[in-house]
């Protein structure tokens, strides 16, 4: 891992998908996964504690949805950047998460290199 690695917190309610994503992202030198939680409420707590560069936020979760969780995370840690991750999003949902402060939306079926590039761009590091 390089000194310029993007510090990332994953927020995803599907345990297997979250753990797999954590493993795959953790294999990239330009990314350091510093935390991983399953819901928006825990995301606020961990982001306040860890101040990550980027929060990779699922859109559809129980409790706070991605837009509400994005607002709460950015209130707690305004220096973090949020990238929304979703299986599928409507145009209305994209507008909702962008209005909440997310800087990008990536679908879960996107090419992994695209996801890495989006996270790195959000964190200000070249992929």
Which residue did the predictor score with more confidence, 89 or 84? Answer: 84
Element (H, E) at 68: helix 66-76
End-to-end alpha-carbon separation of the chain, Å? 13
Predicted pLDDT of residue 93: 85
Give Cα 32 distance to the centre of its chain: 12
d(CA 120, CA 37): 20
Q: What is the pLDDT of residues 1-59, one digit of tens each?
A: 455 899 999 999 999 999 999 999 999 999 999 999 999 999 999 999 999 999 999 98
Q: What is the pLDDT of residues 98-118, one digit of tens each?
A: 999 999 999 888 999 999 999
CB-based contacts of 68, cutoff 8 Å, min separation 6? 40, 100
CA angle 100, 38, 113 (to 5 degrees): 70
d(CA 121, CA 90): 23
Predicted pLDDT of residue 62: 85
Predicted pLDDT of residue 92: 87
Predicted pLDDT of residue 16: 96
Fold (CATH) for 6-123: Rossmann fold (3.40.50)
Q: Where are the domains of the chain?
A: 6-123
């Amino acid at each position: 891992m390089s000194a310029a690695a993007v510090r990332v917190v994953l927020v995803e309610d599907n345990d297997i998908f979250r753990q797999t994503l954590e493993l795959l992202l953790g294999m990239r030198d330009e990314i350091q996964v510093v935390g991983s939680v399953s819901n928006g409420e825990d995301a606020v707590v961990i982001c306040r504690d860890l101040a990550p560069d980027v929060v990779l936020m699922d859109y559809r979760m129980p409790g706070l949805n991605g837009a509400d969780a994005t607002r709460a995370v950015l209130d707690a840690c305004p220096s973090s950047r949020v990238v929304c991750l979703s299986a599928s999003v409507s145009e209305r949902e994209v507008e909702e998460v962008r209005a909440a402060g997310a800087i990008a939306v990536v679908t879960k079926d996107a090419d992994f290199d695209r996801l890495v590039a989006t996270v790195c761009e959000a964190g200000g590091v070249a992929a």
